[in-house]
């Protein structure tokens, strides 16, 4: 951030530089198009990755930014998934409006929950979110007439996207659809975290007591971000319904809440991209390992999780950022790229 005379940049300049799109980000998003050409047989998996990444992104907003732990985030994912499924079963299979309605429904549920959530922290919060997740799962299980219970929801049929693109067996439409929705909501989240509101969320994560002492409306902030996060999780769930035309109780179970937490921690919480990176690693690893040994695929994930938490407390992305920001790396790349002026 130093200019030629060694003086510091002004605050406006500095903040603008912080929020600027980096080349690596653009490369990253473009690389997400590669599956279409490189691994066209894996587009179904790729859309699962995009959906899971979106789910992880929603968790990142509350966990990575506001510091609210949740072990029951699948509640919102599942609520969105069932909303989209039930809509479709009862005759409205239009994907885009289905997505919006599902997101709205999950957001509403999140808003109601937020009155409780915003009052607690730490262990109490883990227990409440966990309990809430169980509650919703049991509810879906017992309301068989609505949800299909343990058999799953039958008769979900999603109409072609924009009336033109049918959801095909190879997942071409699914991946386009999931990827575009992921990208749009990513843009929304990116804007959010760069806003004054986003700054206050980080303040809550860093020091809730000090937030009170600067007169911050922390509770209102927490309720707002919880609602937004729930809505995005619901949209992710609805995407899953629409791209697979099935909904089962699995969308609500504890494993899904735990997985998304693992994904976010692996990738790196509080960095927006962590959930996406984590989802890629997690789902590709599951796909590969479960081919070898379907029962024990959590073993390598467990090892990876322990290693990451031990050696890269800020996740894989945090570790990479640390390397890139290190002086040694800067010197090394400066040597490699002679067109870049050495300091």
Partner 1 sequence: MSTPALSTRGLNKNFGSLVVASDIEIELPQGVRYALIGPNGAGKTTLINLMTGMLKPDGGQIQLGGEEITALGPEARVRRGLVRTFQINSLFPHLNPLEAVTLAVCERQEVSRTWWKPITAYSAEVDEAYGILKTLMLAQVCYRQTRELAYGQQRLLEIALALATRPKVLLLDEPAAGVPRDESAELFAAVTNLSQDITVLFIEHDMDFVFRFASRIIVMVGGRILVEGTPDEISADPRVREVYLGSAHHG
Q: Please say which residue, 208 or 258, places its beta carbon nearer to partner 1.
A: 208
Asked whether the beta carbons of 305 and 266 are under 8 A apart, the reply is: yes
Name the β-bridge partners of 47. Answer: none
Q: How far is the CB of 138 from partner 1 (least distance, A)?
A: 34
Q: Please say which residue, 227 or 244, places its beta carbon nearer to partner 1.
A: 227
Q: What is the largest CA-CA distance in the chain?
A: 72
CA nearest neighbour of 67 among 277, 214, 222? 222
Dump strand ranges (E) for 70-229.
none
Q: Please say which residue, 69 or 190, places its beta carbon nearer to partner 1.
A: 190
Q: How far apart are the first and last CA of the chain?
A: 12
Q: How far is the CB of 216 from partner 1 (least distance, A)?
A: 4
Q: How far is the CB of 187 from partner 1 (least distance, A)?
A: 11
DSSP assignment of 244-261 equals HS-B-GGGGSHHHHHHHH
Q: How far is the CB of 318 from partner 1 (least distance, A)?
A: 12
- CA–CA separation, 292 vs 138, rounded Å? 33
Structure tokens at 201: 């969320």
Which residue reads 């198009």 in tokens? 33
Contact positions vs partner 1 (CB under 8 A): 1, 8-12, 14-16, 19, 191-192, 194-200, 202-203, 206-207, 209-210, 212-218, 220-221, 224, 228
Q: Please say which residue, 203 or 274, places its beta carbon nearer to partner 1.
A: 203
Q: How far is the CB of 19 from partner 1 (least distance, A)?
A: 6
Q: Please say which residue, 108 or 192, places its beta carbon nearer to partner 1.
A: 192
């Amino acid at each position: 951030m130093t200019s030629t005379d060694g003086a510091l940049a002004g605050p406006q300049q500095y903040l603008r530089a912080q929020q600027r799109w980096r080349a690596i980000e653009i490369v990253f998003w473009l690389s997400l198009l590669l599956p279409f050409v490189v691994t066209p047989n894996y587009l179904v998996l790729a859309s699962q990755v995009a959906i899971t990444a979106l789910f992880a992104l929603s968790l990142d907003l509350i966990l990575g930014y506001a510091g609210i732990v949740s072990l029951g985030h699948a509640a919102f994912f599942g609520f969105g998934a069932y909303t989209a499924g039930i809509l479709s079963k009862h005759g409205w299979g239009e994907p885009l409006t289905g997505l919006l309605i599902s997101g709205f429904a999950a957001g509403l549920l999140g808003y109601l929950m937020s009155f409780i959530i915003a009052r607690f922290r730490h262990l109490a919060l883990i227990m409440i979110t966990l309990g809430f997740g169980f509650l919703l799962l049991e509810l879906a299980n017992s309301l068989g007439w609505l949800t299909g219970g343990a058999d799953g929801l039958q008769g979900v049929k999603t109409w072609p996207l924009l009336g033109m693109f049918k959801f095909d067996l190879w997942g071409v439409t699914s991946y386009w659809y999931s990827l575009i929705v992921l990208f749009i909501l990513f843009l929304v989240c990116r804007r959010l975290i760069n806003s004054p509101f986003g700054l206050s969320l980080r303040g809550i994560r860093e020091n809730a007591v000090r937030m009170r002492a600067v007169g911050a409306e922390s509770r209102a902030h927490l309720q707002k971000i919880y609602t937004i996060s729930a809505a995005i999780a619901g949209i992710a769930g609805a995407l899953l319904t629409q791209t697979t035309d099935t909904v089962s109780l699995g969308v609500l179970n504890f494993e899904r809440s735990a997985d998304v937490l693992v994904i976010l921690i692996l990738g790196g919480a509080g960095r927006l991209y962590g959930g996406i990176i984590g989802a890629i690693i997690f789902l590709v690893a599951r796909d590969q390992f479960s081919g070898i040994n379907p029962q024990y695929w959590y073993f390598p994930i467990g090892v990876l999780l322990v290693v990451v938490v031990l050696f890269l407390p800020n996740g894989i992305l945090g570790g990479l950022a640390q390397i890139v920001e290190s002086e040694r790396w800067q010197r090394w790349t400066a040597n490699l790229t002679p067109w870049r002026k050495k300091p």
